[in-house]
Amino acid sequence: MSMDLNTLWFVLIGVLFTGFFVLEGFDFGVGILLPFLGRDDGERRRIIATIGPVWDGNEVWLVTAGGAIFAAFPHWYATLFSGFYLALFLMLVGMIVRAVAFEFRSKDKHPAWRSAWDWMIFVGSAVPALLWGVAFGNLLKGVPIDASKTYVGGFFNLLGPYPLIAGLASLTAFTTHGAIFLELKSTDPIRSRAMQAVTRAGPVATIAMILFVVATYAWTDAFSRLGVNPGVVPLGAAGVMLAAGVFVRRRAMGWAFLMTCLALAFTTITIFMALYPRVMVSSLNPNWSLTIYNASSTPYTLKVMSIVALLFVPLVLAYQAWTYWVFRRRIGSDTRLEY
């Protein structure tokens, strides 16, 4: 892989999506578990408080990734957002509903009001968690793109067996990731319930991830691109997921959380490795696929973007690391809540 500016920005976009899935992944998981682990309003407020200071900052990774695609690979952006319009619209609506629910649930003390918004947090977490897997499954398997870089399929072209398997894998992986995070950030009785959720969701997520790997080699060209021995990163994705289960059984939840972080990171990196140098695969003709070269901006644009990224990305990373350090303590019954 020669590191020209096109490749550099492909790698950077992969890093941004990796950060988004690792960080926003446990946000989604906590939101999915909220109605089930919180038995009353006080417990649900504490669950929300575990992600309250960080969830909106985690979404910045997605906003930045979308902006990077738009600026570095405008043809990719145009084809992706026109072809996946309805799916991305549903995903965006879900994330907006979730954001509104975080802010609105505390505006009225009526139980029905708060319960309704809690379920909106669930829906706004579960729908994107599923659809992100579906989206990347379609990127890997291929979608109908013609010679003019135009998506010529419909919405239901995106809902084949393989993308749905990928969606199931992302949904269960995020749920497990969130349950482990909640165990680390809460006190009893929420902590013990989160541990039960880990033991139930974890095996399902592991099976779903294994099924996703098998389906990827059966229904995509990942086998021919990555080979029989694909390397440390793809094999590591499976290894760390199994290691997470070992640490859960030993109640070493900090290490288990690190393993699920690595599992999501390695899986995302593997997807980008299997795509490179393509960004969208054409199922009609491989030669019509969008690549980092035929979908990119001008070299001058990529150069200016690289300078800007070099200046500001370290600041963003430093700020987010500081935020996690400040809000590192567990949320208990004595914690002052604003949600």
Is residue 329's pLDDT more than 90? Answer: no
pLDDT, position 339: 60
Is residue 333's pLDDT more than 90? Answer: no
Give residues with Cβ within 8 angstroms of 240, minimum separation 6. 259, 260, 262, 263, 266
Is residue 234's pLDDT more than 80? Answer: no
- Dihedral of CA 192/194/196/199: which sign? negative
- Token digits for 62? 């997605």
Angle, CA 105 vertex, CA 99 and CA 111 arms, to 5°: 150
pLDDT, position 50: 94
Provide the angle, in degrees to the nearest 10, between the axes of the packed helices 161-185 and 232-249: 50
Q: What is the C-alpha separation between 264 and 173, in angstroms, rounded? A: 8
- CA-nearest of 31, 18, 51 to 175 is 31
Residue type, 179: A
Q: Could you identify the residue written with the tokens 């309704």?
A: 116
- Token digits for 302? 């990529």
Q: What is the C-alpha separation between 197 and 191, in angstroms, rounded? A: 10
- CA-nearest of 134, 96, 148, 179 to 285 is 148
- Under 8 Å between Cβ of 282 and 140: no
- Token digits for 203? 């095996």
Give residues with Cβ within 8 angstroms of 335, minimum separation 6. 46, 49
φ and ψ at residue 110, rounded to 5 degrees: -65, 130
Q: What is the C-alpha separation between 283 and 141, in angstroms, rounded? A: 8
pLDDT digits (tens, 9 = 90+) for 110-154: 999 999 999 999 999 999 999 999 999 999 999 999 999 899 988
Mean pLDDT for 184-198 is: 94
pLDDT digits (tens, 9 = 90+) for 196-226: 999 999 999 989 988 998 888 888 887 777 6
- Dihedral of CA 152/75/138/99: which sign? negative
Is residue 159's pLDDT more than 70? Answer: yes
Mean pLDDT for 148-177 is: 92
Residue 106: band (very low, low, confident or very high) from pLDDT cuts 50, 70, 90: confident
What is the SS3 assignment for the chain? CCCCHHHHHHHHHHHHHHHHHHHHHHHHHHHHHHHHHCCCHHHHHHHHHHHCCCHHHHHHHHHHHHHHHHHHCHHHHHHHHHHCHHHHHHHHHHHHHHHHHHHHHHHCCCHHHHHHHHHHHHHHHHHHHHHHHHHHHHHHHCECECCCCCECCCHHHHCCHHHHHHHHHHHHHHHHHHHHHHHHHECCCHHHHHHHHHHHHHHHHHHHHHHHHHHHHHHCCHHHHHCCCCCHHHHHHHHHHHHHHHHHHCCCHHHHHHHHHHHHHHHHHHHHHHHCCEEECECCCHHHCEECCCCCCCHHHHHHHHHHHHHHHHHHHHHHHHHHHHCCCCECCCCCCCC
Residue 318 neighbours by CB distance under 10 Å: 10
Task: Write down the mean pLDDT value for the chain.
Answer: 90
